[in-house]
Amino acid sequence: MLDYNTPEYLPSSEELPCSDDTPVDNELQNLIPNLLKAILALIWQNRWDWFFGVDMGIYDRTGQIRRTPIIPDGFLSIGVPRRKNDPKGRLSYVLLEENNVSPILVLEVVSQTYGGEYDKKMVAYTQLGVLYYVTYNPDYYQRDKHEPFEVYRLENGEYIRQPSEPTWMPEIRLAIGRGQGVHEGWQREWLYWFDEQGNRFPTPEELAEQAMIRAQQESIRAQQERQQRELAEQLLQRYRERFGELPE
Q: What is the chain's length? A: 248
The per-residue pLDDT for 166 is 97
The per-residue pLDDT for 62 is 58
The per-residue pLDDT for 6 is 46
In this predicted structure, the answer to whether residue 153 has a pLDDT above a threshold of 90 is yes
pLDDT per residue as tens digits for the range 165-203: 999 999 999 999 999 999 999 999 999 999 999 999 999
The per-residue pLDDT for 125 is 95
In this predicted structure, the answer to whether residue 5 has a pLDDT above a threshold of 90 is no
Q: Return mean pLDDT, the chain.
A: 85
The per-residue pLDDT for 61 is 61
The per-residue pLDDT for 22 is 57
The per-residue pLDDT for 63 is 54
The per-residue pLDDT for 68 is 72
Q: What percent of the chain has pLDDT over 90?
A: 60
- DSSP class per residue in the chain: ---TTSGGGS--TTTS-S---PPPSSTHHHHHHHHHHHHHHHHTTT--SEEEEES--EE-TTSS-SSS-B--SEEEEESS-SS-SSTT--SSEEGGGGTT---SEEEEE--SS--STTTHHHHHHHHHT-SEEEEE-TTTHHHHTS-SEEEEEEETTEEEE---SSEEETTTTEEEEEEEEEETTEEEEEEEEE-TTSPBPPPHHHHHHHHHHHHHHHHHHHHHHHHHHHHHHHHHHHHHHHH-SPP-
Least confident of 74-78, 103-107, 180-184: 180-184
pLDDT per residue as tens digits for the range 37-74: 999 999 999 999 999 999 999 998 655 545 678 999 99
Q: Are 49 and 76 in contact (CB under 8 A)?
A: no
Least confident of 111-120, 169-178, 212-221: 212-221
pLDDT band at 163 (very low <50, low <70, confident <90, very high): very high
In this predicted structure, the answer to whether residue 138 has a pLDDT above a threshold of 50 is yes
